[in-house]
Amino acid sequence: MPKTIIEKLWDAHVVSEKEGAPALIYIDLHLVHEVTSPQAFAGLRARGLKVRRPDLTFATTDHSTPTTPKNLPIIDPIAAAQVKQMETNAAEFGIPLYGFHSDKQGIVHVIGPENGLTQPGMTVVCGDSHTATHGAFGALAFGIGTSEVEMVLATQCLPQRKSKTFEVRVDGTLRPGVAAKDIILALCAKVGIGGGTGSVFEYRGSAISALSMEERMTVCNMSIEAGARAGLVAPDDATFEYLAGRKYSPEGADWDAAVARWKTLPTDDGATYDQSVTIDASTLEPMITFGTNPGMGMAISGAVPDPANVADPIERESLRKALQYMALTPGKPLAGQAIDVVFVGSCTNSRISDLRAAASVLKGRKVNSKVRMMVVPGSQPIKRQAEAEGLDRIFRDAGAEWREAGCSMCIAMNGDQLTPGQYSVSTSNRNFEGRQGKGGRTFLASPQTAAASAIMGQVTDVRTLLG
């Protein structure tokens, strides 16, 4: 029977199946960070267990680490203790760590692909819901809770129920000013924040094939924002080209064998999905969110929806509450809304191509005097690459802050945050109440839209600035 890549990945990882119990599946790569792992390591210690496969486990520190210069200490004592604990745990259990002072340190979902750790055909887990990022390589990658982190550390396995398959077909050519981020924001708006619950997305179609690996990561990254625990793209030549020569990529004969295996992964002709949705890339506009979840998004030329037009009472109340929090007027366009902060960064949009995209808009222009703009590269190697290309100069000359790698203002637990009432255009993935700082208000958008908005001091359609 023809199979989807999702089913092929599942079948290849089943360790055991017993009547009445979920299947036990094997995990090829376990990424670990300081925030969701300490209680799991404590659990191992309490039971006297070891990490079964330290050679399939990799750690970094990113969430609670400050993005101020590295010669400064971590001021927050609780965050410092957590970072220290990660170092202790990695040393004690023999896990490789790109720690706070490593020249390879970065956001967990950025460093996996960057070092060739993430490869097609793998199962990848991390105690973080944006693990779907690694799906860009044709891996089955999903976020897990801390109890599951402990299970994977101890056994390299997880009891799992099979997910449903969900085809996201995106055909057509993106127009100028429209980015990969706009594809995924459009999907979130279309199916809603719970639309993919219980499913794994496969992104396919001509618009997906045309994306670079970094753009595919942006799309897969936000699968969870449409409710799906995982989202992936079948590997192709772009995937192999990206992986060739990376630190942990196979070499020589191993590389040839791996590529041969990877080529068997794509969905067979005639395979069917439990559900499908299509998006026409050629009609997409730059997207922006107006509400307090990533599904509350619209084309940047649109107007804020009116709760009065929503029939369902709980839905109406949820929208009313969201607009009240955002202090937005129903029926008004969002373009022109004054902003205070622009954040370019996060595991969604902090890779070199994202920084280049933002810099291309900013070049020769200035950040509006009322706006604080922060640019936070996803890893130390990306930071160095950007500096080699002179991107940091473009950002600094425009008046933006050029910071050290980390999650930064995506999660506001490391000193980088909005103050109550501030508006931000952010390239990150979540606009939940308080996500970027208590009382802060987030508009999610692409790096291009973020840069354009920084220049104008208000939510701006980047196409108005394109020459």
Residues at the site binding ligand SF4, with contacts judged by CB under 6 A:
62-63, 107-109, 128, 130, 346-347, 407, 410-411, 428-429
Out of ligand SF4, another protein, none, what residue 155 binds, judged by CB under 5 to 8 A for its kind, is: another protein
Out of another protein, ligand SF4, none, what residue 107 binds, judged by CB under 5 to 8 A for its kind, is: ligand SF4
By beta-carbon proximity to ligand SF4, the closer residue of 107 and 382 is: 107
Tokens for 105? 């340190």
Out of ligand SF4, another protein, none, what residue 198 binds, judged by CB under 5 to 8 A for its kind, is: another protein
Contact 344/376 with Cβ under 8 angstroms?
Answer: yes
Site residues (CB under 8 A) for another protein, limited to 317-376: 317-318, 321
159 binds another protein (CB under 8 A): yes
Q: What is the rounded CA–CA span in Å between residue 164 and residue 131? A: 18
Q: How many residues bind another protein (CB under 8 A)?
A: 82
CB of 435 to ligand SF4, least distance (A): 9
Q: What is the rounded CA–CA span in Å between residue 298 and residue 427? A: 15
Enumerate residues 6+ apart whose C-beta is below 8 A from 3: 11, 267, 268, 271
CB of 245 to another protein, least distance (A): 14
Question: Could you tell me which of 390, 381, 375 has the C-alpha nearest to residue 425?
Answer: 375
Contact 92/364 with Cβ under 8 angstroms?
Answer: no
Name the strands in the sheet holding 230-232, side by side, starting at the edge strand that comes first in the sequence. Answer: 230-232, 199-204, 164-171, 275-280
Out of another protein, ligand SF4, none, what residue 183 binds, judged by CB under 5 to 8 A for its kind, is: none
Tokens for 188? 């979130």
For 419, counting Cβ atoms within 10 Å of its Cβ (0-12 exposed, 13-18 middle, 19+ buried), the class is: exposed
Question: Could you tell me which of 245, 288, 308, 217 has the C-alpha nearest to residue 116?
Answer: 245
Contact 426/343 with Cβ under 8 angstroms?
Answer: yes
Out of ligand SF4, another protein, none, what residue 308 binds, judged by CB under 5 to 8 A for its kind, is: none
State residue 458 phi and psi, 5-degree precision. Answer: -155, 165
Contact 126/148 with Cβ under 8 angstroms?
Answer: no
CB of 250 to ligand SF4, least distance (A): 27
By beta-carbon proximity to another protein, the closer residue of 125 and 371 is: 125
Among 106, 135, 177, 227, binds another protein (CB under 8 A): 227
Out of another protein, ligand SF4, none, what residue 416 binds, judged by CB under 5 to 8 A for its kind, is: none
Question: Could you tell me which of 278, 282, 287, 299 has the C-alpha nearest to residue 173?
Answer: 282
Element (H, E) at 452: helix 447-456
Which residues, in sequence order, are bridge partners of residue 342? 373, 425
Q: What single-letter amino acid sits at 430?
A: R
57 binds another protein (CB under 8 A): yes
Instruction: Return the range that interacts with another protein (CB under 8 A); candidates 122-130, 175-183, 210-218, 232-240.
Output: 122-130
Out of another protein, ligand SF4, none, what residue 302 binds, judged by CB under 5 to 8 A for its kind, is: none
CB of 457 to another protein, least distance (A): 27
By beta-carbon proximity to another protein, the closer residue of 76 and 171 is: 76
Site residues (CB under 8 A) for another protein, limited to 252-271: 254, 257-258, 261
Binding mask 81-120 for another protein (x = CB under 8 A): xx--x----------x-------------------xx-x-
